[in-house]
């Protein structure tokens, strides 16, 4: 870093003292900002590079440090004399400082999710900002500025659709009371996106910026195209993890500079710096992908609500199947519910049909198979007949099976060997097409053995069924049918998913077999049959959110059928199940989210689960389970000694997936009916936990997950 590169020099002892949120080195934690000096005052929110130990790291000036007393440097907690404070090395002031409200959001998120401030601040900024110098930054800013101007074209906008009465009512109600977050509740195809577009138009007309959060990257192209078409005179920036670092910085800068009026992105976009933010939309607010699963485990949906309330701007949460957290807040009157009744136009919701798999003959080959789990027949006869009808009419069928590969496990009937993963508590999945056994958790892939590795038996056999096998079976009974498999294995290459979906849209496919990738967002005009081939597992899962996820997946999948009004009347959703009378399926058949939510909330209340209680998990990982366990037991003893009221701590236990990639995991659950009490306990306890870590060398890492998705 030199003056020549455009850095603003910062040497000089007589200068101002600053508090800087610094990027923490891996696996360390620096909770609070550190003190540095600079020859001249720097605006809070300015990006800097500072020395930290022997290295130089990125940081953000958080606040001026006004006292003349001893300061806090990287020796964490130890105070140093003012004269010993180190100077900021470089100042990146070629872009405007991050504004106080952005910093307040990061402050809030760091304390709520119990992470270091600097760690979070730097993690949510584009990675390139940590690497480039001020001269490079100046060039990027200039490029972003001129690109924005060049993008203003003369392409007339696609005119907005005239809203129907439900949509008008929802939009008016939305803007009539912006103090409370609003849930826009409507099934797929009920016109939610059109309401987003109209709401956005209003915010844009007043010169505001609009942030639209979407769950997954493969949903973005369609939504992005609709926004781009509707608002060609406005610049749209997208922010998601599939961008190159250069693109990500460019788009982020467009938002930060206020050039992009529209920002569309996945969870990380909730942290976009948007000086004129006037509206936030969270599409599919119930989606689990809004919760970050590593590092700072934040919920982008929850932060979006916080951010809107902080700014006093409206926030719209859209869903056909709201999360139970959101639903409960509606019931409490904390959120408003705006309802879009039915589908637009003639589009009817598909008729839901249950296939009782108990009525079918027991599977022949697979040992221990449940009645009806007839993995040697592709589908129940009635369902297969319905698929045939579609084939004859030139319509498409979509078959959902949430298990990729050929079979989830290989088995030796002679000695009982199963294809377990040596590194994880999981089976290795048999992939027939490339003859491998693959662990879907650690990635270990080996050629399928010819014979049982334990006893040499040549007759090892697959148990159960994944998408590969279903395609094979269908091919055998429906010769000539064009069958496409779409799952994580077939969509690895860049653009693969888009290409395969295009083939579906162009009518080059008769039957689609795939995992939940297929259920979301896509607008398949020719699909008139959707079937869940084997969905029962989620009903009996140890994961308390599994039924909620299944219901929303099936509702969403049902929404794939009959989107074309001309075909809607014969569209159907089929469920193969051994519990056809299950209340979840009954609610699904009636398209009755409220009945489902009522039943689930009763169960959650009885079991003391969210949204009736608040949870936090402390996780520890070590090579030896005993080391992780010892650490958490010592931690539990610390917590018990603190005797925090209203917080219940459960003893540390291994999770269902105890070993992953040779790392053993142990976790400890904290529960409270009071969110403040839980947070008080965590923030009092964490410094002790941090200190304890030093005495437990076997522990590789530990982390807190506030509001965990699964326990």
Choose which of 455, 502, 640, 656 interacts with Zn ion (CB under 5 A): 455
Decide if residue 552 touches ligand ADP (CB under 6 A): no
Decide if residue 417 touches Zn ion (CB under 5 A): yes
Decide if residue 562 touches ligand ADP (CB under 6 A): no
Residue 457 binding: pick among ligand ADP, Zn ion, none (C-beta 5-8 Å cut-off by kind): Zn ion
Among the residue ranges 181-189, 228-236, 291-299, 463-471, the one whose residues contact ligand ADP (CB under 6 A): 181-189
Decide if residue 194 touches ligand ADP (CB under 6 A): yes
Decide if residue 674 touches ligand ADP (CB under 6 A): no
Q: How far is the CB of 452 from Zn ion (least distance, A)?
A: 3
Choose which of 86, 226, 441, 696 interacts with Zn ion (CB under 5 A): 441
Decide if residue 101 touches Zn ion (CB under 5 A): no
Q: How many residues bind ligand ADP (CB under 6 A)?
A: 14
Residue 610 binding: pick among ligand ADP, Zn ion, none (C-beta 5-8 Å cut-off by kind): none
Decide if residue 410 touches Zn ion (CB under 5 A): no
Q: Which residues pair with 80 in a beta bridge?
A: 71
Q: How far is the CB of 426 from Zn ion (least distance, A)?
A: 6
The CB density around residue 540, as the number of other CB atoms within 10 Å, is 9
Among the residue ranges 191-199, 397-405, 414-422, 527-535, the one whose residues contact ligand ADP (CB under 6 A): 191-199
Q: Which residues pair with 238 in a beta bridge?
A: 264
Choose which of 126, 189, 464, 562 interacts with ligand ADP (CB under 6 A): 189
Upstream peptide bond of 611 is cis (omega within 30 degrees of 0)? yes
Decide if residue 337 touches ligand ADP (CB under 6 A): no
- Strand arrangement, sheet containing 260-265: 235-239, 260-265, 209-213, 277-283, 315-319, 182-186, 336-340
Q: Mask 291-330, x = binds ligand ADP (CB under 6 A)?
A: ----------------------------------------
Choose which of 46, 114, 134, 193 interacts with ligand ADP (CB under 6 A): 193
Q: How far is the CB of 344 from ligand ADP (least distance, A)?
A: 4
Give the distance, in angstroms, between the CA of residue 390 and the centroid of all CA atoms in the same chain: 35
Q: Are 20 and 88 contacting, i.e. CB atoms less than 8 angstroms apart?
A: yes
- Tell me how far apart the alpha carbons of residues 344 and 189 are, in angstroms, rounded to a whole number: 6
Measuring CA to CA, which residue among 10, 4, 3 is closest to residue 46?
Answer: 10
Give the DSSP letter of residue 607: H
Return the structure tokens found at 506. Answer: 């162009």
Q: Which residues contact 461 (CB under 8 A, 6 or more apart)?
A: 365, 366, 410, 411, 413
Give the distance, in angstroms, between the CA of residue 251 and the centroid of all CA atoms in the same chain: 20
- Tell me how far apart the alpha carbons of residues 669 and 161 are, in angstroms, rounded to a whole number: 49
Decide if residue 424 touches Zn ion (CB under 5 A): yes
The nearer residue to ligand ADP, 11 or 346, going by C-beta atoms, is 346
**Backbone phi and psi for residue 647, each to the nearest 5 degrees, phi listed first:** -120, 130
Decide if residue 413 touches Zn ion (CB under 5 A): no
Q: Mask 149-178, x = binds ligand ADP (CB under 6 A)?
A: ------------xxxx--x-----------
Decide if residue 445 touches Zn ion (CB under 5 A): no
Return the structure tokens found at 237. Answer: 């920036």
Measuring CA to CA, which residue among 398, 513, 406, 552 is closest to residue 466?
Answer: 406
Q: Are strands 461-463 and 409-411 parallel, antiparallel or unpaired?
A: antiparallel
Choose which of 8, 37, 128, 188 interacts with ligand ADP (CB under 6 A): 188
Choose which of 59, 186, 265, 708 interacts with ligand ADP (CB under 6 A): 186
Decide if residue 47 touches Zn ion (CB under 5 A): no
- Tell me how far apart the alpha carbons of residues 129 and 127 are, in angstroms, rounded to a whole number: 5
**Backbone phi and psi for residue 63, each to the nearest 5 degrees, phi listed first:** -160, 160
Return the structure tokens found at 268. Answer: 């990380």
Q: Are 495 and 538 contacting, i.e. CB atoms less than 8 angstroms apart?
A: no
Decide if residue 192 touches ligand ADP (CB under 6 A): yes
Q: Which residues pair with 38 in a beta bridge?
A: 16
Decide if residue 344 touches ligand ADP (CB under 6 A): yes
Q: Are 400 and 557 contacting, i.e. CB atoms less than 8 angstroms apart?
A: yes
Give the DSSP letter of residue 646: T
Decide if residue 521 touches ligand ADP (CB under 6 A): no
Q: How many residues bind Zn ion (CB under 5 A)?
A: 15
Residue 190 binding: pick among Zn ion, ligand ADP, none (C-beta 5-8 Å cut-off by kind): ligand ADP
Q: Note the residues at the interface with Zn ion (CB under 5 A).
A: 412, 414-415, 417, 421, 423-424, 439, 441-442, 444, 452, 454-455, 457
Which residues of the shown chain bind ligand ADP in the complex (CB under 6 A)? Answer: 161-164, 167, 186, 188-194, 344
């Amino acid at each position: 870093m030199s003056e020549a590169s455009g850095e603003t020099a910062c040497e000089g002892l007589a200068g101002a003292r600053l508090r800087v949120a610094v990027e923490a080195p891996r696996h360390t934690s620096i909770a609070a900002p550190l003190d540095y000096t600079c020859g001249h005052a720097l605006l809070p929110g300015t990006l800097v590079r500072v020395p930290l130990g022997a290295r130089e790291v990125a940081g953000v000036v958080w606040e001026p440090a006004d006292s003349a007393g001893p300061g806090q440097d990287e020796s964490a907690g130890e105070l140093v004399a003012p004269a010993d404070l180190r100077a900021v090395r470089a100042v990146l002031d070629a872009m405007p400082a991050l504004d106080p409200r952005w910093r307040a959001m990061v402050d809030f998120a760091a304390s709520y999710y119990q992470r270091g401030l600097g760690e979070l601040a730097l993690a949510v900024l584009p990675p390139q900002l940590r690497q480039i110098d001020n001269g490079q930054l100046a060039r990027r800013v200039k490029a972003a500025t001129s690109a924005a101007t060049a993008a203003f074209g003369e392409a007339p906008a696609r005119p907005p659709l005239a809203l129907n009465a439900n949509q008008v009512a929802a939009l008016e109600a939305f803007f009539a009371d912006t103090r409370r977050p609003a849930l826009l509740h409507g099934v797929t195809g009920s016109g939610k996106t059109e309401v987003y577009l109209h709401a956005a138009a209003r915010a844009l007309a007043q010169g505001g910026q609009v942030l639209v959060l979407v769950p997954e990257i493969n949903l973005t192209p369609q939504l992005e195209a609709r926004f781009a078409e509707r608002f060609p005179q406005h610049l749209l920036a997208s922010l998601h993890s599939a961008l190159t670092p250069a693109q990500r910085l460019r788009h982020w800068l467009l938002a930060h500079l206020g050039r992009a009026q529209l920002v569309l992105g996945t969870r990380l976009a909730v942290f976009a710096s948007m000086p004129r933010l006037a509206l936030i939309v969270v599409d599919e607010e119930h989606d689990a992908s809004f919760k970050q699963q590593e590092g700072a485990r934040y919920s982008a949906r929850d932060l979006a609500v916080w951010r809107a309330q902080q700014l006093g701007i409206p926030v719209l949460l859209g869903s056909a199947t709201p999360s139970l957290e959101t639903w409960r807040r509606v019931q409490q009157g904390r959120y408003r519910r705006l309802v879009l009744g039915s589908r637009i136009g003639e589009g009817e919701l598909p008729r839901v049909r249950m296939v009782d798999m108990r009525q079918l003959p027991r599977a022949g080959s697979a040992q221990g198979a449940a009645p009806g789990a007839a993995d040697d027949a592709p589908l129940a006869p009635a369902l297969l007949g319905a698929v045939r009808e579609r084939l004859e009419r030139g319509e498409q069928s979509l078959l959902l099976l949430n298990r990729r590969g050929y079979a989830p496990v290989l088995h030796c009937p002679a000695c009982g060997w199963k294809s377990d993963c040596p590194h994880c508590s999981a089976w290795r999945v048999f992939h027939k097409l490339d003859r491998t056994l693959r662990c879907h958790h650690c990635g270990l892939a080996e050629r399928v053995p010819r014979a049982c590795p334990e006893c040499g038996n040549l007759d090892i056999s697959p148990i159960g069924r994944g998408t590969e096998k279903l395609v094979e079976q269908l091919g055998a009974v429906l010769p000539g049918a064009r069958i496409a498999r779409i799952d994580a294995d077939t969509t690895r290459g860049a653009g693969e998913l888009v290409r395969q979906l295009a083939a579906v849209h162009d009518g080059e496919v008769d039957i689609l077999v795939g995992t939940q990738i297929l259920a979301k967002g896509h607008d398949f005009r020719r699909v008139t049959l959707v079937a869940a081939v084997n969905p029962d597992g989620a009903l009996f899962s140890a994961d308390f959110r599994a039924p909620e996820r299944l219901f929303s997946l099936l509702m969403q999948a049902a929404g794939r059928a009959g989107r074309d009004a001309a075909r809607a009347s014969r569209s159907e959703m089929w469920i193969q199940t051994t519990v056809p009378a299950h209340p979840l399926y009954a609610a699904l058949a009636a398209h009755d989210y409220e009945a489902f939510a009522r039943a689930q909330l009763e169960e959650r209340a009885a079991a003391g689960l969210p949204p009736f209680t608040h949870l936090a998990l402390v996780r520890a990982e070590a090579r030896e389970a005993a080391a992780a366990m010892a650490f958490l037991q010592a931690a539990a003893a610390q917590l018990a000694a603190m005797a925090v009221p209203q917080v219940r701590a459960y003893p540390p236990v291994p999770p269902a997936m105890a070993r992953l990639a040779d790392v053993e995991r142990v976790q400890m659950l904290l529960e409270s009916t009071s969110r403040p009490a839980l947070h008080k306990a965590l923030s009092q306890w964490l410094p002790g936990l941090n200190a304890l870590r030093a005495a437990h060398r076997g522990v590789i890492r530990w982390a807190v997950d506030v509001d965990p998705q699964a326990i």
